[in-house]
Amino acid sequence: MTLTATAPTRPARTAKPQRRRGVLSYWRFYLALSPFYLLFVVFGLYPVASTILLAFQKWDGLGPRKMVGLQNFGFLIQDSTFWLSLWNTVVLFVMSTAPTLVIAMTLAVMLHSAVRFKGIYRIAYFIPNITSLVAAAIFFAAVFSTNFGLINAGLRSLGLPTEDWLRQPWGIKIAISTMIVWQWAGYNTIIYLAGLQAIPTEQYEAAKVDGAGPFRTFFSITLPQLRPVVLFTVIMSTIGGLQTFTEPQVMVGNNGGTGQSGMTVVMYFYNQAFFNNDYGYAGAIALSIFMLVLLFTAINWKLLGGRGRQ
């Protein structure tokens, strides 16, 4: 409404030379954008800055803060639990992201070809993503439980030996990554599907004329055309995957279960801050997660983005 009302005055203004308008003359636009930035400053930037500062302090959550320099990082380097949690995080990330993206791509290609009830499939695949994480984790813990779990019941009916899934270091990782795959495959499917629909059909027709089979078409047309979309999903999965928290916390408890093999860096950070009241140390761990995400994103960018932008 405002737009249509101001429209008549527009031509007169834009006709004037560009330099007459300083940054300030855009104030309306900045004003319109400001809600995001104001909220971001309060709820995003301030906590981030405060966490960075906290990493160099000792604070129990209530008393005075004390500057301790690099002491927290000194402890961090020697802390075997921290390195273990870092290892767990990376392993869980690989174990969950790779299958998620492969499954998502497969589903997307299948959905893209003529299928009936496309809408229903799309909804069905997307629903896990909007399911409550805690509810899903409780469900998965039940599925993987030793005596009465669905997985072990299946193994038993096939005459295979059962496994104490949530009591074995690798079992814990498998259970957690299975849940992440279940939750995120559908989300990525929808993104890939959108990407697929943007590929011009002429390219496929040309490929058909040249006699390319379905696999050749997929690897020579679909995948290269989807490169930016794949990059996006990989980066989003990296950012999400390296911050895994709820799944292991609900499934195997705050300490990450047997051998702490479900202990992720974010969980370790949470334990240090909110159970051990060691907020400074937690701040140092949080910074390390930040660096890790940055590092992985840069690697992904180089690997996947590089050739696409030439």
Partner 1 sequence: MELSRRTLIAGGFAAMLGGTVVGCSSSMDAGTTKKNATGNIALWCWPGGLGKSVLDDTIAHFPDQHIKYSEVGGDFKQKLLTTFNGGTSIPDITGVKGEDIASMLPQANRFVDLKTIGADSILGDYLDWKVKQATTLDGKVLGIPIDIGPTALFYREDVFTAGGLPGDPAKVAEQLKTWDDFLAAGVELKKSNPKAFIVADAADLYGTIVNQGTARYIDKDNKFIGDQDHIRKAWDTAVKAITLKVDGKTLGGSPDWNAGLDNGTVPTVTGAAWVALDIKAACKTSVGKWRVAPTPSGPANFGGSFLTITKSAADPAAAFEVIKYMLSADNEAKAFADAQIFPATPAAYDKPQLKAADPFFGGQVPIEVFGPAAKNIPIAYEAPLDSAVATPFTDELKLVQAGKKSSDAAWSSAVQKAKQIGKRQGVQ
Residue 169 binds to partner 1 (criterion: CB under 8 A): yes
- CA–CA dist 246, 134 (Å, integer): 7
Residue 259 binds to partner 1 (criterion: CB under 8 A): yes
The interface region with partner 1, picked from 98-106, 227-235, 276-284, 288-296 by CB under 8 A, is 276-284
Query: Please, are residues 225 and 199 in contact by the beta-carbon 8 Å criterion?
Result: yes
Of 128 and 259, the one with the shorter C-beta distance to partner 1 is 259
Binding mask 44-63 for partner 1 (x = CB under 8 A): ----------------xxxx
Residue 9 binds to partner 1 (criterion: CB under 8 A): no
100: tokens are: 């998620």
Q: Single out the residue of 14, 80, 113, 310 in contact with partner 1 (rule: CB under 8 A).
A: 80
Angle, helices 279-300/80-112, rounded to nearest 10 degrees: 40
Q: Single out the residue of 17, 64, 119, 161 in contact with partner 1 (rule: CB under 8 A).
A: 64
Q: Single out the residue of 253, 295, 299, 302 in contact with partner 1 (rule: CB under 8 A).
A: 253
Query: Please, are residues 163 and 155 in contact by the beta-carbon 8 Å criterion?
Result: yes
Q: Single out the residue of 55, 107, 151, 166 in contact with partner 1 (rule: CB under 8 A).
A: 166
Phi, psi values for residue 261, rounded to 5° = -80, -5
Q: Single out the residue of 106, 131, 132, 276 in contact with partner 1 (rule: CB under 8 A).
A: 276
Q: Single out the residue of 13, 21, 26, 34 in contact with partner 1 (rule: CB under 8 A).
A: 34
Provide the binding-site residues for partner 1, judged by CB under 8 A.
2, 5-6, 31, 34-35, 38, 42, 60-64, 75, 78-81, 141-142, 145-149, 164, 166-169, 253, 255-260, 274-278, 281
